[in-house]
């Protein structure tokens, strides 16, 4: 499956949240992400991602292992994605380390997720704050089985974002991993407000 996704900076998160609240019930979750690479950094060099994510919700905790191939669309950064739920994340961390992978970066994302249908597709819209990065972001994604369907899916994602008053000038392809790494370098950035 290919994740057709666009990400944007949000300058009026209260308005966007209010619009999303009309589409679906928001689900507040905290993601604890650990990205792995080999010691030479070859996954990052090849634009691939290997991640263990533990998701803490209000009533439950779950974990997933995700591998993302290199992006197939440079404008959006969309990537083929393979993901599976794991019952024992500590065992997966141990397996990855045992195979020679090392944690490249780990950080927390505070998310408010909305799932809804539109244009014959299932969408996931997520308002995101990363404590180490200033501001609020919106990710809107839908999954497609083949690359030839990606362009139309991204058009639908853009339309959904337009309904939320998010425009092309707000879009960004900067990775959270890169932004967090930059923040941890000398000259740290400021924290943004918290999502309710």
Domain boundaries, the chain: 2-184
pLDDT digits (tens, 9 = 90+) for 68-96: 999 999 999 999 999 999 999 999 999 99
Spell out, as residue ranges, where the chain has pLDDT lower than 70: 187-196
The pLDDT of residue 115: 98
Please state, in angstroms and rounded to a whole number, the distance separating the CA atoms of residues 53 and 1.
19
The pLDDT of residue 193: 47
Total-model pTM: 0.91
| Topology of domain 2-184, CATH | Hypothetical Protein Pfu-838710-001 (2.40.320)
């Amino acid at each position: 499956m290919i994740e057709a996704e666009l990400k944007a900076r949000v300058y009026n998160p209260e308005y966007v949240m209010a619009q999303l609240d009309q589409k679906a019930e928001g689900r507040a979750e905290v993601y604890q992400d650990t990205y792995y690479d080999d010691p030479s950094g070859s996954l990052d060099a090849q634009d691939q991602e290997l991640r263990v994510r533990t998701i803490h919700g209000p009533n439950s905790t779950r974990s997933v292992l995700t591998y993302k191939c290199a992006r197939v669309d440079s404008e959006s950064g969309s990537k083929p994605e393979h993901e599976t739920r794991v019952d024992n994340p500590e065992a997966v961390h141990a397996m990855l380390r045992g195979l020679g992978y090392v944690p490249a970066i780990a950080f927390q994302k505070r998310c408010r997720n909305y799932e809804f249908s539109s244009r014959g597709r299932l969408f996931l819209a997520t308002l995101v704050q990363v404590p180490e990065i200033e501001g609020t972001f919106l990710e809107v994604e839908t999954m497609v089985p083949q690359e030839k369907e990606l362009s139309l899916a991204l058009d639908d994602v853009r339309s959904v974002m337009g309904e939320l008053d998010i425009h092309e000038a707000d879009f960004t392809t900067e990775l959270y991993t890169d932004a967090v790494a930059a923040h941890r370098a000398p000259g740290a950035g400021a924290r943004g407000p918290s999502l309710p």
